[in-house]
Amino acid sequence: MSQKVSISKSGFDSKVMLQALFDIAPLSVAVVPWGILCGSLAVGIGLSGLQAQLMSLFIFAGAAQLAATSLMGAAGSLSSIFSSTFVISARHLLYSAVFREHVRSSPFLTRVCTAFFLTDEMFAVTCAYIAKHKRYCATYAISSGVAFYVIWNLSTLAGIVLGQHLPNLESLGLEFAIAATFIAIVIPSIKAKSTLIAVVTSGVSVLVLSVFAADYALIVATILGMLAGYFTAEKEGSNE
């Protein structure tokens, strides 16, 4: 019994929670324009304020929400909406594979919460925490995810309100926040030659392919970057 109490107390370590809030704060601030854009676009295509907010509350996937919203506004088919959001969100399969060994023995509710709040930002700060402390902490991961979830939904709400009073809000260039957020996530993680090559290959490929094959640029560039990083890492391993 005493062991269970000890585990319960450590599970709500206030210092760990505060550290998670502190670490996720810069990425939360960076995503505010993205959330505003998402909310304003949703009401711009005819969704009610409640429907737009529910997208962020239940879907909680910025890139997928923007893609779905754009396709809905263009009267895209249901199949195209599902296929596009699936491809965009497929990276979460990799994230979950990384966390699998850490959470497989956790209680069901902990695993469900980790899965729901798993985003690029939560994944990035949690991996940094693991690298620094050499252990996974569910309290840290979920706390950072919840904090980001709150900021994302408040940003969406701001976008809904502003979108109803300020026309053409998307013309302000708020979509740059998407690129800025991912740059802030990726750059600190470049600590190996293979990672650098993967990033450069993906970046150059998507720029070139956007001119010649815009519809498949993101998918092909992602695959090329992964392959470049994989073979570089394999070569480095064989040389050692």
- Per residue in 128-137, pLDDT (tens digit) is 999 899 999 9
Looking at every residue in the chain, the average pLDDT score rounds to: 82
How many Å apart are CA 32 and CA 182, to the nearest integer? 13
Q: How many residues does the chain have?
A: 240
Residue 9 has a pLDDT of: 39
Give the pLDDT confidence score for residue 94 in this predicted structure. 83
Domain parsing of the chain, residue ranges: 14-189, 190-240
Give the confidence band of 148 by pLDDT, cuts at 50, 70, 90. very high
Task: Give the type of residue at 43.
Answer: V
* Token couple for 94: 């990799």
Whole-model pTM: value is 0.76
DSSP characters over 159-215: HHHHHHHSTTGGGG-TTHHHHHHHHHHHGGG--SHHHHHHHHHHHHHHHHHHHH-GG
Q: Are 68 and 45 in contact (CB under 8 A)?
A: no
Between the ranges 173-182, 183-192, 208-217, where is the mean pLDDT highest? 208-217
The secondary structure of 8-68 as a DSSP string is: HHHHT-HHHHHHHHHHHHHHHHHTHHHHHHHHHHHHHTT--HHHHHHIIIII--HHHHHHH
